[in-house]
Amino acid sequence: MEFISQRVKSLAVSQTLAMSQKSAELRQQGIDVINLSVGEPDFYTPDHIKAAADQAIADNYSFYSPVPGYLSLRQAVCDKLARENGLSFTPDCIVVSNGAKQALCNVILATVNPGDEVVIPTPAWVSYVEMVKLAEGITVTIPTGIDSDFKVTPERLEAAITARTRMILLCSPSNPTGSVYSRDELAALVAVIERHPDIIVVADEIYEHINYTGSFTSLGSFKSIADRVVIINGVSKAYAMTGWRIGYCAAPLAIAKAVSKLQGQYTSGASSIAQKAAEAAYTGSQECVAEMCAAFRRRRDLVVEKASQIPGLRINVPQGAFYLFPEVSALLGKTAPDGRKIETSGDLAMYLLECGHVATVDGAAFGAPGYIRFSYATSDDNLRIAMERIAKAVAALK
Ligand code: PMP
Ligand code: GLU
């Protein structure tokens, strides 16, 4: 008897979470693995946010919350979008979910019909393609590489669009490459999108605040397409709140309503306590955000310096997020001291884990074989040791 649906059988396991799990297992066996696999800030949630959660418990925020989230939180999100991005949303266009992950999946499930095409520039975060699969949509990738700083050009975007294109999904600052589109680069893509009025644009802006360029442009700020842009964001990365599971979509009213209807049937409103904490994150002092970003920038400089000294790794200088995405094809075809052949970037990631004791993620998980991803959201000391281990492991390949 086969109990598992075709839908789930066709899904890939999240490689970011799987590598992190594997590294935790090795640690439990007493092996000192440094985990550069999962992308999550290593900082604790700031105290004033934790205090708001304590207060919410004391105030008996223990009942079901409204499906799209508390009005006060949705208002705080609207104020954030106005203050930081110059956007004017009303709370009925905001739906709060269990992390940006659910917000994204909701939007895809609420708008993509079977057979619809979703255009995704790659390398792209592991879950996009799988979410499109869940909606029975068809992913159309636009592969990019290190030589174009992993950015898609207007010409290539235009070429990927067909009569069946329903959605374009963009992520800036990018996971896994750290690339950040400038306002001019986005404007050039918007000029293409303007010509295709039936396409929804989903802008994953979860790394907005981990940005070293000094400026951030939300795709929602382009008036000509604003009525079909859906913004995805949340508190996980900016406020070191990955476990609290609060994200949101800011969408045209019809899409927000559809998302709320969907969410009402399968998860209801997000955690009441976590929502009150998120509200404090948006309404309180933003100093913690700048402090964490400064720490990520220092770590970015450190890993870039160390990685650029390792023969065989070709790197770009990431302008945001907390990932480095080296190209490693020069190392493929080599043999490790234990006799294993390194044929693919996946073999390399496994070798670095098992022999170098550093967990990374194979670029293939992001649609980019020939690369590997390091998350540098860990302490400077850990990063120094990890980069030394990687240098040693790579030098041992013959
Ligand atoms: N989008 C991207 C690009 C991400 O890297 C992540 C990482 N978790 C998410 C969305 C989901 O974030 P959350 O933890 O809020 O679900
Ligand atoms: N987004 C992070 C990452 O890419 C967290 C894990 C996940 O949700 O995929 O590592």
Residue to substitute in 38, 204, 232, 237 for testing ligand 2 pocket (most ligand atoms within 8 angstroms of CB): 38
Q: Which two tokens stand for residue 118?
A: 């979703």
Could you tell me if 200 and 96 lie in one domain? yes
Q: How much of the chain exceeds pLDDT 90, in percent?
A: 96
Q: Please count the structural domains in the chain.
A: 2
Question: Are 179 and 242 in a shared domain?
Answer: yes
Query: Please, what is the Cα angle at 173 between 172 and 177, to 5 degrees?
Result: 105
Task: Convert the pLDDT of each residue in 135-191 to its tens digit.
Answer: 999 999 999 999 999 999 999 999 999 999 999 999 999 999 999 999 999 999 999
Q: Which two tokens stand for residue 135?
A: 């909606």
- pTM reported for the whole predicted model: 0.97
Same domain, yes or no: 301 and 387: yes
Which of 237, 259, 283 marks a domain boundary? Answer: 283
Q: Give the domain-ending residue among 251, 283, 315.
A: 283
Give the CATH number for residue 197: 3.40.640.10
Nearest residue to 68 via CA among 106, 105, 101, 113: 106
Domain membership of residue 147 (yes or no) is yes
168 and 229 in a single domain? The answer is yes
Task: Tell me the C-alpha distance between 331 and 345, whole Å.
Answer: 9
Rounded to the nearest angstrom, the distance between the alpha carbon of 39 and the centre of ligand 2 is: 5
- For residues 303 and 368, membership in a common domain is answered with yes
Looking at the structure, tell me whether residues 87 and 219 fall in a common domain. yes
Domain membership of residue 1 (yes or no) is no
Q: Is the pLDDT of residue 49 over 80?
A: yes
In a shared domain, residues 65 and 109:
yes
Domain that holds residue 295: 6-44+288-395
Q: Does one domain contain both 247 and 376?
A: no
Q: What mean pLDDT is predicted for residues 70-82?
A: 98
Mutation to probe ligand 1, out of 101, 105, 177, 296 (largest number of atoms < 8 A from CB): 101
Q: For position 26, which CATH number holds? A: 3.90.1150.10
Count of beta carbons in the 10 Å neighbourhood of residue 374: 27
The residue among 254, 283, 312 that closes a domain is 283
Residue 206 CA, closest ligand 2 atom number: 1
Give SS3 for 141: strand
Please work out whether the CB of residue 255 comes within 6 Å of at least one atom of ligand 2.
no
User: ∠180-183-184 over CA atoms, to 5°?
Assistant: 110
Strands 229-234, 200-204: pairing is parallel
Q: Give the type of residue at 330.
A: A
